[in-house]
Amino acid sequence: MEAVFVRPAEKHDGIDPAEIPGGDITMIGWVQRPGSEDIEGYLLSDINAKPDAEVRIAIGRAYEVMQEERRTATLGFAEDLRASTGLNVELEITEYQPGRKGLGPVEWTAIFIGSNVAASLISNLTRDLYEKAKKLLLDRKAKGGRPNKGFVIYGPDGKVLRRWDTKNGDGPSDEEEK
């Protein structure tokens, strides 16, 4: 799976809310598979948090308009990780939902290490992800756009392993905050 786009279904999508549990069309995820231009709709419960992903990158918020530069840079980041590490990397993109309001002072990227990564490799993988993500965001910051960008790397147990943002630099992990 190349990417997951989360947005509400629309009439032209041909989705009948009566076919969706509870009629909630926000429960649809749009999947783009590698090598395909087609985007297919599925229930989010069928596509989220796949256990076989070794790394999952999540960007976007329902209240944030996704800039094409951010989408392209993150797709490139995911592809680079696949090529340089051989890992199974999935990308989850949450699309803007009209009418949703919110303010995020930092453009966050979440990076999740899957539960099937050997415990002995997590430290090295975290270090590699940290260096690559930091370079990506510093390169993007140098090109302009939103000045505050950051990322958080989560371990298989959901705890924060590393965090960094362009304003504050390194932040504490969950273990360091104790």
13-61: pLDDT as tens digits: 555 555 555 555 555 565 655 666 665 655 554 444 444 568 999 998 8
**Terminal CA-CA length for the chain:** 37
In this prediction, residue 1 has a pLDDT band, given cuts at 50, 70 and 90, of very low
Rounded Cα distance, 2 and 168, in Å: 32
**What are residue 55's DSSP bridge partners?**
89, 113
Strands lying side by side in the sheet with 89-94: 39-43, 28-32, 3-6, 89-94, 55-59, 107-113, 149-154, 160-165, 169-171
| DSSP-assigned letter for residue 49 | S
Instruction: Calculate the average pLDDT of the chain.
Output: 76
Q: Indicate whether 3 pLDDT > 60.
A: no
Rounded Cα distance, 158 and 113, in Å: 9
Q: Indicate whether 112 pLDDT > 80.
A: yes
More confident: 161 or 103: 161
Instruction: Look up residue 21 and give its two tokens.
Output: 């549990």
Query: What is the value of pTM for the model shown?
Result: 0.65
Cα dihedral 122→140→103→75 (10° resolution) = -60
pLDDT for position 144:
81
CA neighbours closer than 13 Å in the CB half-sphere of residue 50: 19
More confident: 116 or 98: 98
Cα dihedral 40→41→44→45 (10° resolution) = -90
Rounded Cα distance, 159 and 152, in Å: 10
Domains of the chain, residue spans: 49-177
